[in-house]
């Protein structure tokens, strides 16, 4: 080999080594970046950890905070607001009365009692037995209203995302909602931060249009003033069952001149401005409406939980447990308490830096962000942004990633549910929503994992909240002071129903599955089988209309076609 050949061989070898070194370097760098991104995911997983042990700590903290919130005003971050709803629609009492009378007859036959007085005696005896052994002693509300309301009742439902106007027609027998018309529309974004006049004019004019459409194509006679239930799902300090003061806004609303004002009064003024003659019969929030419908359909319903744009819960409490209002009298001995559980705080909550940043950027700090539909998508966006800043696996950092709320929770749910081998839905959403095109498959898988971690934590915390309520009312099967309430007089576990609504729960399949799984883990299989979560769709509105019927100021309804016999219940004021 000549000198030239040798030189050529050396240069070739050197070039090969250089190329190999570049390739290896590139690989090492890309591995390092991948490791950094995986590190972001690991940190997220660790920070979102919700072992059953931790969830039980959250359950205990929730029950303690509930006690504190009931003990004194401001005693806890949980506001535990009184709703003045002490009667829930329930059509079972007529049925039970019937059972009692027939039972009394059979009993007197069996015992060969001859006359009517003996028959009455037998009925009384059965009544005593029933009172002694039924759940009536251990829990209020089982026997409340008669379900005999008839006619048309309306409701307005102002949630966090949607606004609904609806009308139900009651037939006067149990579970006889003859018809229900609902009209939905999104709340215009600009109204969420405008003035109370603008917001309430929008609500009043929507209601007016709805009522006018009905008047055009029906036999409606405008003799009686229509009454409706107003579902207003923000923290309100009730002053009666039909009025209350707005404490603060949540879920991105910020109509500053409203805070401290009476919500019903604002609406009543707006209706007058719009030439609409209607009366707010009840002012409730979505949880109370949902509980009302849940209880109407199933009297074992003791609580309601909403997981939609925001999250909240209410439950039936005994008045003697509401220490901050000692002396409060209700005919039933109980009252629905609106927990405002979005405010719940405990050091056991698994909080991440993303939650802290999100809270810092929000006009409503310390509020329901780990669970609500409004925020989950944005937590995922923040994690992807961090990953994208740590490495170039998403390409150059998309400016869209810095835009708050650009990734919605429904889009996040769609990515989570993508089961296609190439995760094409994930690719589509990253491209269309976040303007991140051509993301490799392994990175798409990473995104799905992020959605999974964020949703799993949310669902498991919601489950812990539900068990917290059950623990407070002695329905969690644990051997506490109130454990007797978990079991009936025969020692068997009692059915406990929780009415559920909100699109995050009803439409996000993985969320629902994770929630149920955690409920079983915390309660144990044996107890969990007696806890039933029942979807009560549109309960917030329909329940408010049912409550409007039972709190109607006139015994006949606004319907011309049907005579009404709705029960009259005076709203009670706090002493
Ligand atoms: P509102 O809170 O206004 O009463 P919803 O209960 O319907 O209304 O909740 C709406 C919220 O639920 C939306 O803001 C969104 O975050 C979430 N959501 C709606 N659809 C889905 C879905 N398919 N998957 C996950 N979340 C959803
Ligand atoms: Mg709602």
Q: How confident is the model at residue 61 (pLDDT cuts 50, 70, 90)?
A: very high
Q: Does residue 387 or residue 92 have the better pLDDT?
A: 387
Find, among 537, 536, 518, the residue nearest to 528 by Cα.
518
Residue 502 Cβ contacting ligand 1 at under 6 Å: yes
Centre of ligand 2 from the C-alpha of residue 309, in Å: 7
d(CA 240, CA 235): 15
If you average pLDDT over each of 114-118, 124-128, 201-205, which comes out highest? 201-205
What is the best residue among 308, 456, 537 to mutate for testing ligand 1's pocket, by most ligand atoms within 8 Å of CB?
308
Label residue 522 left, alpha or beta by phi (over 0 means left) and psi (-120 to 50 means alpha): alpha
Residue 103 Cβ contacting ligand 1 at under 6 Å: no
d(CA 47, CA 205): 47
| Ligand with smallest separation from the Cα of 161 | 1
SS3 of 528-554: HCCEEEEECCCHHHHHHHHHHHHCCCC
SS3 of 244-294: EEECCCCCCCCCHHHCCCEHHHHHHHHHHHCCCCEEEEEEECHHHHHHHHH
User: Using one digit for the tens of pLDDT, what is the confidence trace for 403-462?
Assistant: 999 999 999 999 999 999 999 999 999 999 999 999 999 999 999 999 999 999 999 999
- DSSP code of residue 493: B
Q: How confident is the model at residue 5 (pLDDT cuts 50, 70, 90)?
A: confident
343 close to 79: Cβ distance less than 8 angstroms: yes
Burial call 201-226: b when 16+ CB within 10 Å, e when fewer: bbbbbbbbebbeeeeeeeebeeebeb
Residue 90: the pLDDT is 65
Which atom belonging to ligand 1 lies closest to the Cα atom of 251? 2
For the chain, what's the residue count? 575
**Which residue's CA is the nearest one to ligand 1's atom 21?**
410
Strands 236-240 and 243-246: antiparallel
Find, among 497, 475, 501, the residue nearest to 487 by Cα.
475
Q: Which residues, other chains included, contact 97 with Cβ-Cβ below 8 Å and sequence gap of 6+?
A: none
* pTM: predicted TM-score of the whole model, two decimal places: 0.83
State CA 307 to chain mean position distance. Answer: 3
Q: How far is CA 400 from CA 181, 392, 394, 434, in A?
A: 40, 15, 12, 5
The region of weakest confidence among 44-48, 96-100, 511-515 is 96-100
In the three-class reduction of DSSP (H, G, I as helix; E, B as strand; rest coil), residue 479 is classed as: coil
Which atom belonging to ligand 1 lies closest to the Cα atom of 157? 4
Percent of the chain with pLDDT over 70: 77
d(CA 150, CA 176): 9
Q: Which residues, other chains included, contact 509 with Cβ-Cβ below 8 Å and sequence gap of 6+?
A: 417
**Which residue's CA is the nearest one to ligand 1's atom 6?**
502
- DSSP code of residue 339: -
């Amino acid at each position: 080999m000549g000198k030239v050949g040798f030189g050529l061989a050396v240069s070739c070898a050197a070039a090969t080594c250089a190329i190999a070194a570049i390739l290896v370097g590139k690989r090492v760098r890309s591995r390092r970046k991948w490791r950094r991104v995986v590190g972001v995911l690991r940190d997220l997983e660790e920070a979102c950890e919700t072992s059953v042990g931790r969830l039980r700590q959250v359950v205990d903290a929730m029950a303690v905070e509930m006690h504190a919130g009931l003990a004194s005003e401001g005693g806890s971050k949980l506001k535990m607001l009184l709703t003045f709803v002490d009667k829930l629609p329930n059509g079972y009492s007529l049925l039970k009365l019937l059972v009692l009378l027939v039972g009394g007859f059979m009993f007197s036959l069996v015992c060969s009692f001859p006359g009517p007085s003996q028959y009455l005696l037998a009925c009384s005896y059965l009544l005593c037995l029933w009172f002694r052994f039924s759940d009536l002693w251990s829990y209020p509300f089982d026997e409340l209203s008669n379900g005999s309301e008839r006619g048309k009742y309306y409701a307005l439902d102002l949630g966090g995302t949607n606004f609904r106007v609806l009308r139900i027609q009651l037939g006067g027998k149990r579970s006889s909602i003859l018809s229900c018309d609902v009209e939905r529309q999104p709340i215009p974004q600009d109204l969420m931060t405008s003035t109370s006049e603008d917001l309430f004019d929008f609500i009043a004019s929507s209601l007016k249009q709805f009522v006018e459409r009905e008047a055009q194509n029906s036999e409606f006679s405008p003799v009686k003033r229509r009454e409706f239930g107003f579902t207003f799902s923000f923290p309100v300090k009730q002053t009666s069952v039909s009025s209350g003061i707005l404490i603060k806004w949540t879920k991105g609303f910020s109509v500053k001149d409203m805070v401290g004002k009476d919500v019903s009064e604002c609406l009543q003024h707006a209706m007058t401005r719009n030439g609409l003659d209607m009366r707010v019969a009840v002012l409730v929030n979505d949880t109370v409406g949902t509980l009302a419908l849940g209880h109407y359909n199933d009297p074992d319903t003791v609580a309601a939980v909403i997981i939609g744009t925001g999250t909240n819960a209410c439950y039936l409490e005994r008045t003697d447990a509401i220490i901050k209002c000692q002396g409060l009298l209700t005919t039933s001995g109980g009252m629905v308490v609106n927990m405002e559980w979005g405010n719940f705080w405990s050091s056991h909550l698994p909080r991440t830096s993303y939650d802290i940043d999100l809270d810092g950027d929000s006009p409503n700090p310390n509020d329901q962000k780990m669970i609500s539909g409004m925020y989950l998508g944005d937590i995922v966006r923040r994690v992807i942004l961090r990953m994208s800043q740590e490495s170039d696996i998403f390409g150059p950092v998309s400016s869209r990633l810095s835009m708050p709320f650009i990734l919605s929770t429904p889009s996040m749910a769609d990515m989570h549910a993508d089961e296609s081998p190439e995760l094409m839905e994930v690719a589509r959403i990253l491209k269309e929503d976040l303007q991140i095109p051509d993301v490799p498959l392994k990175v798409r898988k990473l995104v799905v994992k992020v959605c999974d971690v964020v949703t799993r934590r949310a669902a498991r915390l919601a489950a812990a909240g539900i068990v917290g309520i059950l623990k407070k009312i002695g329905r969690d099967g644990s051997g506490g002071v109130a454990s007797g309430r978990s079991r009936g007089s025969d020692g068997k576990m009692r059915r406990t129903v929780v009415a559920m609504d909100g699109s995050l729960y009803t439409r996000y399949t993985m969320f629902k599955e994770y929630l149920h799984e955690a409920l079983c883990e915390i309660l144990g299989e044996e107890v969990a089988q007696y806890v039933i979560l029942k979807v009560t769709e549109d309960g917030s509105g329909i329940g408010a209309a049912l409550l409007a019927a039972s709190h109607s100021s006139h015994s006949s309804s606004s319907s011309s076609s049907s005579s009404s016999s709705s029960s009259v219940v005076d709203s009670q004021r706090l002493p």
